[in-house]
Amino acid sequence: MRGVTATDTHCPYCALQCGMTLTPEIPRVRLEPRDFPVNRGGLCAKGFTAADLLDHRDRLLHPLVRKVPGDRTSPFREATWDEALSQTEEQIRTAQERHGRNSVGVFGGGGLTNEKAYALGKFARVTLKSASIDYNGRFCMSSAATAANRTLGVDRGLPFPLEDVAHAKTVLLVGANPADAMPPSMQYLDTGRENGARHIVIDPRRTNTAAGAHLHLQPLPGTDLALANGLLHIAIREGHIDEAYIRDRTTGFDAVKNATNSYWPDRVERMTGVPENRLRETVRLLATQGPAMILTARGAEQHSNGTDTAQAYLNLALALGLVGRPFSGYGTITGQGNGQGGREHGQKADQLPGYRKLDDPEARKHVAKVWGIDPDELPGPGQSAYEMLDQLGGKVRVLMVLASNIAVSAPNSNRILEKLKSLDFLVVSDIFASETAELADVVLPTAQWAEEEGTMTNLEGRVIRRKRALAPPPEVRTDLEMLADLSRRLGRAESSDPRTVFEELRRASAGGIADYAGITYERIEKENGVFWPCPAEDHPGTPRLFADNFPTKDGRAAMRAVIHRDPAEMPDRTFPYVLTTGRNMQQYQSGNQTRRVKALNVALPEPRAEIHPDLARRHGINDGDLVELRSRRGVAVLRARLSDGIRPDTVFAPFHWPGANALTNPALDPHSRMPAFKACAVAISRHERGTD
């Protein structure tokens, strides 16, 4: 047993960051939920089984290197840290000498603590002096972040505490399924319904969230923008907009109004498949049954026009005067554990700590001073996640991957697998041997969530503390320790102490959009987390944004006209159906953690393609049959699950297993560089093995 004290900490999974208590006991660690503001004593199945990961038999306990260096068909063998990092150092130096600084890339993850995300961004730009860095959060909510930054002046998933949702009388959920993705949050929606609230869900599937809603709108995937413009058209024509709010607090409305003139209800019904009467009822509820909220998630964002789609729903919320008013507003439901904090402090290709822009001279000057370098030493913005991955083996010759399983999670994954194999050198830091780690030259074992200190920022912008409850196994290091050691070998001294790194992060973020300067470990513990921005230690933090103004140059929200574009790939004779991907309740992200938990695998042992019975009959498919899905990029075989809750022209597949992303389209949103995970053209047939 590695400790004796009960420790209050947080769940390792989604962006709720539910509170829990860990107590080391024999033979296993005891995990109990605790009364933290977001979960109020509740946990989902993933949270309740999170301790199963700590002593799992698959745990990586030693660094691994290939028996024959450079030969990835050679088996792994255990190595010392010195040997593993010496190989890594040598390959980094060789690549940069031969191919330039940007030939070494870094790929991070939305599950890293704020301290690790900050240290990783600094490592890339100061130690490596490379522009080649991005992270899997680019695949998560970058479109909503882009829309929020350019319209509201700030990107914070929820600009209000989650508890406010319980007080809204109308909630529109667009492409969101919190009943499966973050079940403890449903208590706030349930409380609202008990008090008479009406909830509307926009989703091509009748999810568990949609099943409890007052209205369920089922658009064809990829038509959410047309639907939003249609809702705003109705609001304008029927006199539901808040003209005083628009006049006093926004700019750009006239252009938005003109752009929505052609989105007549009958046309929008033809485009989306949503009946006109449901469009009108949605607008009526949002406008008259207040306070009201519009909450978007990945279903609206993961498209080649995802930024404009998020913008369209922002326009609707602003035109109705919702943003900044009590228990009203627009927000985005963040997915990954530190999806919010992970994108604030330098993992993104174009960002510096504090949500500063890397191409802003003043931002470069501020951060360079904290880092003790000349601003001219900082590289410029790099390429987005998929664009960088697509250059592996070419411009990028060495790649370091932390807390990400891109072999499963990247779109067009067959191509990315080949790109990973073409690298001169791949090093992966993880807790288990993921599909990506299996392709590596060096694998580094990292500490788990319960074995490290640090901070996370949840979907509300609440900065919380992840506290160490157990010591990691003897040969396992934290990522901060690994980065500090590797930096030292490459000629740069860095701290591996989380508190020291956080103190530096505070200084680097000071004055930025995401200002953490007034947040300390002690305040976080005392106050159940601190909401950013918090510019000084005597500042109370900011649970609710936009009450008086917006952090834009003129203090107003900048509405922008957007028009519907068809998805990058439309169905045709060869590929006649639309595939959309998403989450199951029992699994998480690429499944590298949850697919190893026995209780979760018993509940959901394999991926299932959700198919409407009419589509299934057309192809001779029965429930439980194996089906083959084909796109222009690949093939996947999944078990069929027949459901009349999905559109007959649409197939749903979960992304927690290898397979689904062999099909998805890497077409990128021009603003956020988000891939189009949510809509691609596929064909379907009964697999030749039938029900095997």
Tens of pLDDT, residue by residue over 143-196, are 999 999 999 999 999 999 999 999 999 999 999 999 999 999 999 999 999 999
Is residue 246 included in any domain, yes or no? yes
Do residue 151 and residue 284 come from a single domain? yes
- pLDDT for residue 408 is more than 60: yes
Is residue 539 included in any domain, yes or no? no
**Please, which pLDDT band fits residue 27 given cuts at 50, 70 and 90?**
confident
Tens of pLDDT, residue by residue over 215-272, are 999 999 999 999 999 999 999 999 999 999 999 999 999 999 999 999 999 999 999 9
Do residue 150 and residue 121 come from a single domain? no
**Please, which pLDDT band fits residue 1 given cuts at 50, 70 and 90?**
very low
Do residue 456 and residue 413 come from a single domain? yes
The CATH number of the domain where 154 resides is what? 3.40.228.10
Tens of pLDDT, residue by residue over 108-151, are 999 999 999 999 999 999 999 999 999 999 998 899 999 999 99
Do residue 443 and residue 507 come from a single domain? yes
Phi-psi group of 511: left, alpha or beta (phi > 0 → left; psi -120 to 50 → alpha; rest → beta): left
Q: Residue holding tokens 């962006």? A: 15
Q: Residue 629, SS3?
A: strand
Mean pLDDT estimate for the chain? 96
Q: Angle at Cα 44 formed by Cα 39 and Cα 48, nearest 5°? A: 105
326 residue type, one letter: P
Is residue 4 included in any domain, yes or no? no
**Please, which pLDDT band fits residue 400 given cuts at 50, 70 and 90?**
very high
Do residue 302 and residue 402 come from a single domain? no
Determine what percent of the chain is predicted with pLDDT higher than 70: 99
Do residue 308 and residue 344 come from a single domain? no
What pLDDT score does 255 carry?
A: 98
Q: Are 526 and 128 in contact (CB under 8 A)?
A: no
Tens of pLDDT, residue by residue over 541-563, are 999 999 999 999 999 999 999 99
Nearest-angstrom CA–CA distance, 479 and 439: 20
Nearest-angstrom CA–CA distance, 601 and 493: 44
Which residues pair with residue 442 across a beta bridge?
Answer: 65, 427
Tens of pLDDT, residue by residue over 592-613, are 999 999 999 999 999 999 999 9
Do residue 328 and residue 359 come from a single domain? no
Nearest-angstrom CA–CA distance, 569 and 572: 9
DSSP at 139: G
**Please, which pLDDT band fits residue 334 given cuts at 50, 70 and 90?**
confident
Nearest-angstrom CA–CA distance, 258 and 261: 5
User: ω into residue 375 within 30 of 0, thus cis?
Assistant: no
Q: Identify the domain boundary among 311, 332, 353.
A: 332
Q: Identify the domain boundary among 299, 332, 365.
A: 332
**Please, which pLDDT band fits residue 691 given cuts at 50, 70 and 90?**
low
Structure tokens at 79: 């190595």
Is residue 24 included in any domain, yes or no? no
What is the arithmetic mean of pLDDT over 386-407? Answer: 97
Is residue 26 included in any domain, yes or no? no
- pLDDT for residue 3 is more than 70: no
Nearest-angstrom CA–CA distance, 378 and 353: 13
Q: Identify the domain boundary among 531, 561, 595.
A: 531
- pLDDT for residue 28 is more than 90: no
What is the arithmetic mean of pLDDT over 324-348? Answer: 92
What pLDDT score does 335 carry?
A: 82
Q: In three state form, how does the secondary structure of 226-278 look?
A: HHHHHHHHHHHHCCCCCHHHHHHHEECHHHHHHHHCCCCHHHHHHHHCCCHHH
**Please, which pLDDT band fits residue 2 given cuts at 50, 70 and 90?**
very low
Q: In three state form, how does the secondary structure of 121-180 look?
A: HHHHHHHCCCCCEEEHHHHCCHHHHHHHHHHHCCCCCCCCCHHHHHHCCEEEEECCCHHH
Number of domains within the chain:
3
Name residues whose C-beta falls within 8 Å of residue 566's C-beta, 6 or more positions apart in sequence. 222
What pLDDT score does 4 carry?
A: 57
Which residues pair with residue 646 across a beta bridge?
Answer: 205
Q: Are 435 and 593 in contact (CB under 8 A)?
A: no
Q: Which domain holds residue 244?
A: 142-332
Q: Residue 293, SS3?
A: strand
Q: Angle at Cα 48 formed by Cα 46 and Cα 50, nearest 5°? A: 65
Do residue 634 and residue 517 come from a single domain? no
Name residues whose C-beta falls within 8 Å of residue 135's C-beta, 6 or more positions apart in sequence. 107, 108, 109, 110, 117, 342, 343, 347, 348, 385, 404
Is residue 291 included in any domain, yes or no? yes
Do residue 457 and residue 603 come from a single domain? no
Nearest-angstrom CA–CA distance, 405 and 431: 11
For residue 135, give the nearest of 677, 673, 592 by alpha carbon.
673
Do residue 159 and residue 303 come from a single domain? yes
DSSP at 473: P
The CATH number of the domain where 676 resides is what? 2.40.40.20
Do residue 524 and residue 595 come from a single domain? no
- pLDDT for residue 690 is more than 70: no
Structure tokens at 386: 């998929």
Do residue 290 and residue 366 come from a single domain? no
Is residue 537 included in any domain, yes or no? no
The CATH number of the domain where 114 resides is what? 3.40.50.740
**Please, which pLDDT band fits residue 424 given cuts at 50, 70 and 90?**
very high
For residue 379, give the nearest of 638, 108, 136, 100 by alpha carbon.
100
Is residue 42 included in any domain, yes or no? no
